[in-house]
Amino acid sequence: MENRIRSEREERGWTQAVLAGHLGVSRQTVVALETGRYDPSLPLAFRISRLFGKDIEGLFFPSGDA
């Protein structure tokens, strides 16, 4: 899976630590999400989509569908 978490975060001028604070996760987890090393659980994916005000499909997509 790929995602647009990094671009959404940068649009808001947030550091990874700030995003981690908003999501209640560690910065290490934000790094893993942004670099595609980790696909979040559905509850975390919904928290991320709610935070950015986007549908899950607008944030996460299968590799190659960018």
Establish if 49 lies at the interface with another protein (CB under 8 A).
no
First-to-last alpha carbon distance for the chain, in angstroms, is: 10
Tokens of 1: 């899976």
Tokens of 22: 């908003």
Helix, strand or coil for residue 2? strand
Establish if 51 lies at the interface with another protein (CB under 8 A).
no
Give all strands (DSSP E) within 1-66, no chain letters. 2-3, 60-61
- The least distance separating another protein from the CB of residue 64, rounded to whole angstroms, comes to 20
Considering only residues 20 to 39 of the shown chain, the ones binding another protein according to CB under 8 A are 20-21, 24-29, 31-35, 38
Establish if 10 lies at the interface with another protein (CB under 8 A).
yes
Where on the chain is the footprint of another protein (CB under 8 A)? Answer: 6-7, 9-11, 13-18, 20-21, 24-29, 31-35, 38, 40-41, 44
